[in-house]
Amino acid sequence: MVKSHLSQYSNEAWAIPSLVSFEFLQHYSRLDVVSRTQQQLHRVFDEILPFTDDVAVEAWRLNDRLLPQNIALDKLDLLNLATAHEAGATFVTHNSNDFDKSPIHELTDIHVIVS
């Protein structure tokens, strides 16, 4: 299901937030494995989007708009969403429990893949 959905974006640039890269790398216990995996991430993705102060402000803005609607995202999820939004990118996730909410769809360009 996910592969099928993502194939429609095959002609677009692919990026991940640097915090997603961290989430991925934190499972390894050796630096040489982390270094090889980081190189692989750079080969697979067109860009790894940095965490910047503009992303922090965007996360604050999104959080400020979502909290009055009783939507509280985990901080890392909020930062990843803000990274994509600040970059003008579409945020793609399979996490429907946290992200498939109307106010989030109204504020951001998001695709929630439900399998």
Four-way CATH pick for 2-112: 3.40.50.1010, 1.10.357.10, 3.40.50.2300, 3.40.50.300: 3.40.50.1010
- 59-95 as b/e, with b when 16 or more CB fall inside 10 Å? beebbeebeeeebebeeebbbbbbbbbbbebebbbee
Task: Tell if the pTM clears 0.75, that is, is over it.
Answer: yes
Proportion of the chain in helix, strand, coil states, percent, rounded to 5: 60, 10, 30
The tokens describing 96, both together, are 């429907």
Whether residue 110 is predicted with pLDDT greater than 70 in this model: the reply is yes
Q: What is the DSSP letter of 41?
A: H
pLDDT, mean over the chain: 93
pLDDT recorded at residue 10: 79
For residue range 45-65, what is the model confidence (pLDDT) as tens digits? Answer: 999 999 999 999 999 999 999
For residue range 84-95, what is the model confidence (pLDDT) as tens digits? Answer: 999 999 999 999
Average pLDDT, stretch 68-96? Answer: 96
Nearest to 104 by CA among 90, 2, 114: 90
pLDDT recorded at residue 106: 96
Rounded to an integer, what distance in angstroms lies between the CA atom of residue 108 and that of residue 85? 6
CA end-to-end distance (rounded Å), the chain: 6
Confidence of residue 2 (pLDDT cuts 50, 70, 90): low
